[in-house]
């Protein structure tokens, strides 16, 4: 089973682009905090940064409603991406392919970014992505 569930804050604005096929793809980066107590009793925090990719209408909704610092919950699957740079170097990374995103900022959140105001946002908006023909479905 390949299932990832994360809650965190966006580290930058959502970037979307339209592929030559006409499909919309959005890229986001999430900071997930882990709080723990060390053996000596001191409290500490660890941050993990994770790249996310979201598709279609969900990407458009994310671009419209989310901003740097937005708190979200995502469900998806882990993917391994490989590519070659213009100089011929091979690169790779793991990303989470988002299947469901839940916006967690509340109506009472006064944070603004540009023209986006979270006071206009519903407390929890969900954008569900339909599985494509090439997606794996666990049995």
Residue 30 lies in a domain: yes
d(CA 15, CA 25): 8
Pairing of strands 116-117, 43-55: unpaired
75: domain CATH number is 2.40.50.140
Residue 133 lies in a domain: no
Phi, psi of 56 (to 5 degrees): 60, -140
Task: Tell me the whole-structure pTM to 2 decimals.
Answer: 0.74
Q: 124-134, pLDDT tens digit by residue?
A: 444 444 434 33
Residue 62 lies in a domain: yes
Q: 62-115, pLDDT tens digit by residue?
A: 999 999 999 999 999 999 999 999 999 999 999 999 999 999 986 556 454 444
Phi, psi of 71 (to 5 degrees): -95, 130
Residue 135 lies in a domain: no
d(CA 15, CA 81): 18
Contact 32, 8 (CB under 8 A): yes
Residue 37 lies in a domain: yes
pLDDT at 55: 94
Three-class HEC string of 90-133? EEEEEEEEEEEEEECCCCCCCCEECCEEHHHCCCCCEEECCCCC
Q: 32-73, pLDDT tens digit by residue?
A: 999 999 999 999 999 999 999 999 999 999 999 999 999 999
- Could you tell me which residue, 137 or 82, shows the higher pLDDT? 82
Domain count, the chain: 1
pLDDT at 52: 97
Which residue segment(s) compose the domain that 29 sits in?
4-128
pLDDT at 107: 54
Q: Retrieve residue 130's tokens.
A: 């339909």
């Amino acid at each position: 089973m390949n299932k990832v569930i994360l809650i965190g804050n966006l580290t930058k604005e959502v970037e979307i682009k339209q592929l030559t096929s006409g499909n919309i793809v959005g890229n986001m980066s999430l900071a997930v905090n882990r709080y723990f107590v060390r053996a000596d009793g001191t409290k500490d925090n660890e941050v993990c940064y994770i790249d996310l990719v979201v598709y279609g209408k969900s990407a458009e909704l994310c671009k419209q409603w989310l901003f740097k610092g937005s708190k979200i919950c995502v469900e998806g699957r882990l993917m391994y991406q490989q590519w070659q740079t213009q100089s011929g170097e091979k690169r790779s990374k793991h990303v989470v392919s988002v299947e469901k995103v839940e916006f967690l900022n509340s109506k009472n959140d006064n944070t603004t970014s540009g023209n986006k105001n979270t006071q206009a946002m519903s407390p929890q908006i969900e954008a569900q992505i339909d599985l494509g023909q090439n997606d794996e479905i666990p049995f």
